[in-house]
Amino acid sequence: MTKAIRTKSLPRIGLMATDALRIMGLRAILGDGEECEIVPLADNVSSAIEGLELALLDSPADGEVLDLVQAFRRHRPGLAVIVMGPEKDPEHIERVIGAGAKGYLSRAASEAELRMAIDVVRDGSVWAPRKVMARLLEHSMQEPVVATIPPVNFTKRELEVLRLLVLGHPNRQIAVALGVDEGTVKAHMGRVMRKAGVDNRTALTMRALERNWAVG
């Protein structure tokens, strides 16, 4: 009697682009069929079918990208969206993030940058140029503090995880740097977030920078 072979399902990434050559290039970079499953997305946002882990919007012009991101948010609130576009203005990119995108990349980004952005967003963080992240941090620090947050005692390993997070590393790279598996990193991250009083990695990064937890 033969045993059924169980195959590991690949992460499903939706891809919306208008340039056929860009579509081919992005498919090759992302390893369609080997490292992930690319699902073409039509102009109709309702094509963002259930089961997608992330949507990559490759936009040659940013005129309608805000409406597109908001439409995805309405149709699939939990879907992580990364925008690739030509815009370099921090205020515009901040508006794209504010509309609900989890990442923004230049269309000229390298393969390594694209892969890193996808890893970071899949881990639950936001990927954006440093100037934009700095602006988001500045805005968060201007918000009134409701109550004094008591001192937080992190373990040595939790501080190591926190420092690597602040540097922008996804779980996979943190695991390699610390010589542990990704499950252990996720467990450390969960404890750090509970101690910090936040519920996501982006808020944790902002709070760590604000309170200098990752210094040293």
Per-residue pLDDT reduced to its tens digit, 137-194:
666 555 544 445 567 889 999 999 998 988 888 999 999 999 999 999 999 999 999 9
Do 38 and 130 share a domain, yes or no?
yes
Q: How far is CA 53 from CA 41, 50, 142, in A?
A: 13, 9, 33
CA-nearest of 81, 124, 73 to 105 is 81
Within a domain: 3: no
Within a domain: 1: no
How far apart are alpha carbons 20 and 123 in whole angstroms? 29
Please state the rounded mean pLDDT for residues 52-68.
82
Do 104 and 206 share a domain, yes or no?
no
CATH number at residue 203: 1.10.10.10
Do 103 and 21 share a domain, yes or no?
yes
Provide the 3-class DSSP secondary structure of residue 57: strand
Do 115 and 89 share a domain, yes or no?
yes
Do 39 and 84 share a domain, yes or no?
yes
- Domain boundary, last residue among 83, 112, 138: 138
Do 120 and 154 share a domain, yes or no?
no
pLDDT exceeds 50 at position 6:
no
- Both tokens of residue 26? 């992005």
pLDDT of residue 5: 42
Q: Which residue has the tokens 């500045």?
A: 138
User: What is the pTM for the complete model shown?
Assistant: 0.72
Q: How far is CA 182 from CA 124, 159, 172, 175, in A?
A: 14, 16, 6, 5
pLDDT of residue 209: 77
pLDDT exceeds 90 at position 83:
yes
- What angle separates helix 171-178 from helix 182-196, to the nearest 10 degrees? 110
Do 106 and 191 share a domain, yes or no?
no
Q: Which domain holds residue 206?
A: 149-210
* Partner residues linked to 15 by β-bridges: 40, 56
Amino acid identity of residue 99, one-letter, is A
pLDDT of residue 114: 92
Do 123 and 88 share a domain, yes or no?
yes
- Both tokens of residue 38? 């690319």
How far apart are alpha carbons 196 and 141 in whole angstroms? 15
How far apart are alpha carbons 11 and 79 in whole angstroms? 13
Number of domains in the chain: 2
First to last CA, the chain: 59
